[in-house]
Chain A
Amino acid sequence: MTTTSYKVTGMSCEHCVSAVTSELRGLDGVSAVTVELVPDGVSLVTVTSAHPLTDDAVSAALDEAGDYRVGGA
């Protein structure tokens, strides 16, 4: 079990939260996703998964969910 936090930009409302959550949940091995929403700022997305996720996979999932990106300070 690993838990990783990502700083995600581009999220502005609860819709975004649910989209990001559902996409990340869809990744292999992910068991839990929590999002601390900072509208139009850097939100903190915490992913719990059975094995470490590659950054690419997370980025791809975020991109899938909408115009969200990992990054930010």
Chain B
Amino acid sequence: MTAAPEAARPPAGPESAPGGESTGRESTGAPREVSLSIEGMTCAACAVRIEKKLNKLDEVRATVNYATAIARVTAPAAMPVAALVAAVERAGYTACPTATLDEGPEALSGHEGPGQQATPGEQDDPAARHAAYLRRRLVVALIFFIPLTDLSLMLSLVPSLRFPGWQWLLVACTAPVALWCAWPFHRAALKNARHGTSSMDTLVSLGVIAACGWSVYAMFVLDRGSQDGSLWERLIHDSGGGIYLETAATVTTFLLAGRVYEARARRIASQAMRDLAAAAAKEVSLLGPDGTERLVPASVLRPGMRFVVRPGETIAADGEVEFGRTAIDRSAMTGESVPGEAGEGDPVMGGTIVLTGRIVVRAEKTGADTQLARLIRLVEDAQAEKAAIQRIADRISGVFVPAVLACAAATLAGWLLAGSPASPAFSAGLAVLIIACPCALGLATPAALVAASGRGAANGIFVKGYQALESSRSVDVVVLDKTGTVTTGEMSLAGVCPADGVSRAELLRRAGAVEQASEHAVAAAITAAALVEAATTEAGPLPRAEGFKALPGLGARGTVDGREVLVGRERLLIEHGLTVPADLARQCRAWEQAGRTAVLAGWDGAARGAIAVADTVKPSAAPSVAELRALGLRPVLLTGDNEPTARAVAAVVGIDEVIAGTLPADKAAVITRLRADGHRVAMVGDGVNDGPALAAADLGLALGSGTDVAISAADMILLRDDLRTVPDAIGLARAAFRTIRRNLAWAFGYNVAAIPLAALGLLNPIIASAAMTLSSLFVVASSLRLQRYPLQAASQHQEESTNARLYPRQGQLPQAAAPCRRPGPRPAADDRRRQILHRHPHPGRRGHQGTAGGRPRPARRAPGPLRRRGDGRRRRHREREGQGSRRGDRAPRPVLKHEPATGKLPSKGMQ
């Protein structure tokens, strides 16, 4: 498996492919592949720098992905990993070898270094490690928080309670919190200080240090034993003896809690990326020259090799069909819902799914050269290019910190100028610093994010992170992908034109009888229509077609009621010697121009009627477009289909602007162009082909029924097919961002209000505590209001919202959605269809290609309880799948699938 990740991104050129086809590397032995997980990168430029440093080493080829924080290095076997790590460290970052995408024990065999001791799950995920790092600190902070706060306040205000050595007890309680727990803030502040900048961390660090420093001074130097004077007197004036250790502890604890929340969200997002990459570990059934099949990892596949693909399996590489004929589901790659046909000599794409027959494919492009790998790379590039948005809290801190420092200095100067002795002057200056650090600051963003996530999650809207909230604010154009987003991606009857002397019912009945036996999406649409027709005309069940035979080109033949009926394209009928009346042919062309798929049905030597099917527009599409307009957004339809089809759909849903005929790889370019025109673009899509566009957009929204690539590329994930969740999601994100801003106003407001008190020397621990607590309370309360944010789609889904599966926990992102594409009217055929038309066939079911299904994958670190919950949901989903149909939007499509087995995912370059 070691080769898996590298095949996804071979360092450079085809000659460096894993396994090394002896391209002048004989001297150093076989090169090997190492994955380094990099920490400390802050922008895409960092990745480039590390890449350069690594490539400078002899015979080392490296690519660094900023988004996943992974460097993939091809190095001579003789070069120790430590040398690579050292090179990265020289560039100013840290690295540790990882078995990221590898599962086998052999993955680690080539690695040495510190990372080896870590468990695979921790090791491969800096985000997870970071979350654990913060969590440990938070736990310690919490342990000390309560006793420290109580003791500090009590001993500060009631000196009579002070006992011998009380200072030391407090110091012992404070030291771990202020030093160890707050270390992340100190470290970041230090780093910023070196660059002469300041951020939220600076403020926190300053506040903690000032509070502790002052308190220690007050405890040891100013402790005047049991003083005279009442408690009240001391409260009013005695900031000189005040002990603010509890302020330090509160600030540290609250901010850590906020950071832990955020880190968790980040970890989940990065997990989605990793799962995608893990899918690369696939196997392929190689066909030897002697006709034997051999199961090998897909990474071994080279151009020219032949491999077998069976129904339900994903094609592992771009190539040409050598033998066999099948329908191919290309929806993952192209978004096209109508399966295509492929026979001998036809090209097939890696990542597409074989539906009906066994084929032998000769690989032409493998690994990173496949179109799928290229698309995934586009996603990564787009993600890397999108500069991380500086959080608003940091932006404010950038101004606030210098202002506070100036304020503290002015206080000190003011007191001294007023002729005060140094001690109170100093204490007032420090008090300004202590009170300036709002502990609600750390909660402002996470609290709003968590509340919005909770509100969204109950309605199938997942917010991946802070960035989505901030981007939603300025979005003005919404680009909607057509197939699978605005339309259902399912075919339905769009027109019937019987020839003279044939009734509509007869035409549908005969055509339906033949098509009933076919797997095709077009056939299913015709069958469904025929069944409806039969039911309304009370003509009884459809007759059985004898001697059914599927014909290439959307065709089928069968004997119905003793007559041989042929259904298919015009050319097929003519080839079989049937005459096609001119008016039918004309009708077909008219339909095709309007973007529908037309087939003819004929018997007794002539075509007897034409039937058109078309992709169904979602019922929710038109209202959601109207809502998007109401939000002040400009909807644009983007599709790879031709202009007439796109126009037809756009007209139905009320979109004026159409960008049609866009190749999958160009969709991102369209977004980039829109952005270059000064627009802020949100993209809604579901296919692999939408991935780059989703990543390139300011705000990417993936439909949960979509592919994993799309999901990993997006900023928000909509689990429901109901398009009204799009305006809902944008509205919710905007509301959340407004909340964040309001939160920050509260957080800063309270503490700013206390600054004059501090400057006048009137600060005491009660005021400090109250300011901190009140601002935190306000922040939390204002965030909770998001829980009541009205969602349009929610009201439509009352009955479903009682379903456990629609209450996915915040933090559970869909690893793969299970698109149950056609809940048709025939249960038996339905089951079969699901097995076959499934975009992500269950990898274990066929026990062949998706090897990940057969092997436990230890690397996943999702919390146990959540995992079990997800399993339950999957089970329920399975049960539901067996049940009959649901209508359009309510189809049980958007279901989370929590399977570590990711063989079904479009793989990173393995195809």
| Interface flag for B91 (CB, 8 Å) | yes
A40, B390: Cα distance in complex, Å: 13
User: Are A12 and B195 neighbours in the complex by a CB distance under 8 Å?
Assistant: no
Choose, from B43-51, B452-460, B854-862, the stretch at the interface.
B43-51
A18, B137: Cα distance in complex, Å: 30
- From A15, A16, A18, A39, residue with most partner B Cβ within 10 Å: A15
- Chain B, residue nearest A22 (CB): B92
User: Are B197 and A13 neighbours in the complex by a CB distance under 8 Å?
Assistant: no
- Chain B, residue nearest A19 (CB): B49
Per-residue interface assignment for chain A, residues 54 to 69, with 1 indicating a CB less than 8 Å from any chain B CB and 0 otherwise: 0000000001111110
Chain B contacts of A68 at CB under 8 A?
A: 45
A40, B41: Cα distance in complex, Å: 16
- Identify which of B44, B52, B92, B197 contacts A64 (C-beta below 8 A): B52
- Identify which of B45, B91, B191, B192 contacts A12 (C-beta below 8 A): B45
- Which residues of B, 38-86, contact A by the 8 Å Cβ criterion? 40-46, 48-49, 52
A18, B91: Cα distance in complex, Å: 10
User: Are A10 and B197 neighbours in the complex by a CB distance under 8 Å?
Assistant: no
| Interface flag for B387 (CB, 8 Å) | yes
User: Are B197 and A12 neighbours in the complex by a CB distance under 8 Å?
Assistant: no
- Identify which of A10, A17, A39, A66 contacts B195 (C-beta below 8 A): A17
Per-residue interface assignment for chain A, residues 1 to 44, with 1 indicating a CB less than 8 Å from any chain B CB and 0 otherwise: 00000000011111111110000000000000000000110000
User: Are B92 and A14 neighbours in the complex by a CB distance under 8 Å?
Assistant: no
User: Are B92 and A65 neighbours in the complex by a CB distance under 8 Å?
Assistant: no
A19, B46: Cα distance in complex, Å: 9
User: Closest approach, in angstroms, between the C-beta of A59 and any C-beta of chain B?
Assistant: 14
- Identify which of B42, B49, B52 contacts A14 (C-beta below 8 A): B42
A69, B41: Cα distance in complex, Å: 20
A61, B443: Cα distance in complex, Å: 43
User: Are A39 and B387 neighbours in the complex by a CB distance under 8 Å?
Assistant: yes
Interface size on B, residues (CB 8 A): 17
User: Are B45 and A18 neighbours in the complex by a CB distance under 8 Å?
Assistant: no
- Identify which of A10, A19, A63 contacts B92 (C-beta below 8 A): A19
User: Closest approach, in angstroms, between the C-beta of A18 and any C-beta of chain B?
Assistant: 7
User: Closest approach, in angstroms, between the C-beta of A64 and any C-beta of chain B?
Assistant: 7
Chain B contacts of A67 at CB under 8 A?
A: 45, 48-49, 52
User: Are A19 and B91 neighbours in the complex by a CB distance under 8 Å?
Assistant: yes
Chain B contacts of A63 at CB under 8 A?
A: 52
Chain A contacts of B41 at CB under 8 A?
A: 15
User: Closest approach, in angstroms, between the C-beta of A10 and any C-beta of chain B?
Assistant: 6
A40, B52: Cα distance in complex, Å: 20
User: Closest approach, in angstroms, between the C-beta of A66 and any C-beta of chain B?
Assistant: 4
User: Closest approach, in angstroms, between the C-beta of A23 and any C-beta of chain B?
Assistant: 10
Chain A contacts of B46 at CB under 8 A?
A: 13, 15-16, 66
Q: A10-B45, A39-B387, A40-B387 are in contact. Are A15 and B52 (CB under 8 A)?
A: no
A18, B45: Cα distance in complex, Å: 12
User: Closest approach, in angstroms, between the C-beta of A65 and any C-beta of chain B?
Assistant: 7
A66, B56: Cα distance in complex, Å: 12
A24, B49: Cα distance in complex, Å: 15
Chain A contacts of B92 at CB under 8 A?
A: 15, 18-19
- Chain A, residue nearest B44 (CB): A12
- Which residues of B, 178-215, contact A by the 8 Å Cβ criterion? 191-192, 195, 197
Chain A contacts of B52 at CB under 8 A?
A: 63-64, 66-67
- Identify which of A15, A18, A64 contacts B43 (C-beta below 8 A): A15
User: Closest approach, in angstroms, between the C-beta of A29 and any C-beta of chain B?
Assistant: 23
- Chain A, residue nearest B192 (CB): A14
Chain B contacts of A14 at CB under 8 A?
A: 42, 191-192, 195, 197
User: Closest approach, in angstroms, between the C-beta of B180 and any C-beta of chain A?
Assistant: 25
User: Closest approach, in angstroms, between the C-beta of B201 and any C-beta of chain A?
Assistant: 13
- From A13, A40, A68, residue with most partner B Cβ within 10 Å: A13
User: Are A15 and B387 neighbours in the complex by a CB distance under 8 Å?
Assistant: no
A12, B43: Cα distance in complex, Å: 7
A62, B41: Cα distance in complex, Å: 18
Chain A contacts of B195 at CB under 8 A?
A: 14, 17-18
- Chain A, residue nearest B195 (CB): A14
User: Are B43 and A13 neighbours in the complex by a CB distance under 8 Å?
Assistant: yes
A11, B43: Cα distance in complex, Å: 9
Chain B contacts of A39 at CB under 8 A?
A: 387
User: Closest approach, in angstroms, between the C-beta of A39 and any C-beta of chain B?
Assistant: 7
User: Closest approach, in angstroms, between the C-beta of B548 and any C-beta of chain A?
Assistant: 61
- From B40, B42, B49, B52, residue with most partner A Cβ within 10 Å: B49
A64, B49: Cα distance in complex, Å: 8
- Identify which of B49, B191, B387 contacts A65 (C-beta below 8 A): B49
- Chain B, residue nearest A67 (CB): B48
User: Closest approach, in angstroms, between the C-beta of B678 and any C-beta of chain A?
Assistant: 16
Chain A contacts of B40 at CB under 8 A?
A: 15
A64, B230: Cα distance in complex, Å: 68
Chain B contacts of A12 at CB under 8 A?
A: 42-45, 387
A39, B484: Cα distance in complex, Å: 38
Chain A contacts of B197 at CB under 8 A?
A: 14
A13, B48: Cα distance in complex, Å: 13
A19, B42: Cα distance in complex, Å: 13
- Chain B, residue nearest A68 (CB): B45
User: Closest approach, in angstroms, between the C-beta of A47 and any C-beta of chain B?
Assistant: 18
A39, B44: Cα distance in complex, Å: 12
- From A10, A11, A17, A67, residue with most partner B Cβ within 10 Å: A67
A15, B52: Cα distance in complex, Å: 15
User: Closest approach, in angstroms, between the C-beta of B840 and any C-beta of chain A?
Assistant: 37
A67, B51: Cα distance in complex, Å: 10
User: Closest approach, in angstroms, between the C-beta of B858 and any C-beta of chain A?
Assistant: 34
Chain A contacts of B49 at CB under 8 A?
A: 15-16, 19, 65-67
User: Are B42 and A15 neighbours in the complex by a CB distance under 8 Å?
Assistant: yes
- From B42, B43, B44, B52, residue with most partner A Cβ within 10 Å: B43
Chain B contacts of A15 at CB under 8 A?
A: 40-43, 45-46, 49, 92
Chain A contacts of B44 at CB under 8 A?
A: 12
- Which residues of B, 372-411, contact A by the 8 Å Cβ criterion? 387
A19, B52: Cα distance in complex, Å: 12
A14, B454: Cα distance in complex, Å: 35
A40, B387: Cα distance in complex, Å: 8
User: Closest approach, in angstroms, between the C-beta of B696 and any C-beta of chain A?
Assistant: 15
User: Closest approach, in angstroms, between the C-beta of A8 and any C-beta of chain B?
Assistant: 11
Chain A contacts of B42 at CB under 8 A?
A: 12-15
User: Closest approach, in angstroms, between the C-beta of B387 and any C-beta of chain A?
Assistant: 6
User: Closest approach, in angstroms, between the C-beta of A11 and any C-beta of chain B?
Assistant: 7
User: Closest approach, in angstroms, between the C-beta of A21 and any C-beta of chain B?
Assistant: 10
Chain B contacts of A40 at CB under 8 A?
A: 387
A67, B91: Cα distance in complex, Å: 13
A13, B387: Cα distance in complex, Å: 10
User: Closest approach, in angstroms, between the C-beta of A52 and any C-beta of chain B?
Assistant: 26
User: Are A16 and B91 neighbours in the complex by a CB distance under 8 Å?
Assistant: no
Per-residue interface assignment for chain B, residues 196 to 238, with 1 indicating a CB less than 8 Å from any chain A CB and 0 otherwise: 0100000000000000000000000000000000000000000
Chain B contacts of A11 at CB under 8 A?
A: 45
Chain B contacts of A13 at CB under 8 A?
A: 42-43, 45-46
A47, B40: Cα distance in complex, Å: 27
User: Closest approach, in angstroms, between the C-beta of A5 and any C-beta of chain B?
Assistant: 19
A to B CB contacts below 8 Å, 13 in the list: A10-B45, A13-B46, A14-B191, A15-B40, A15-B43, A15-B92, A16-B45, A17-B195, A18-B195, A19-B91, A65-B49, A66-B45, A67-B45
- Given A11-B45, A13-B45, A15-B43, 17 more pairs with CB closer than 8 A: A12-B44, A12-B45, A13-B46, A14-B192, A15-B42, A15-B46, A16-B43, A16-B45, A16-B46, A16-B49, A18-B92, A65-B49, A66-B45, A66-B46, A66-B48, A66-B52, A67-B52
Identify the A interface with B (CB < 8 A). 10-19, 39-40, 63-68
Identify the B interface with A (CB < 8 A). 40-46, 48-49, 52, 91-92, 191-192, 195, 197, 387
Minimum-distance CB pairs A-B, first 7:
A66-B49, A67-B48, A12-B43, A14-B195, A13-B43, A13-B42, A16-B45
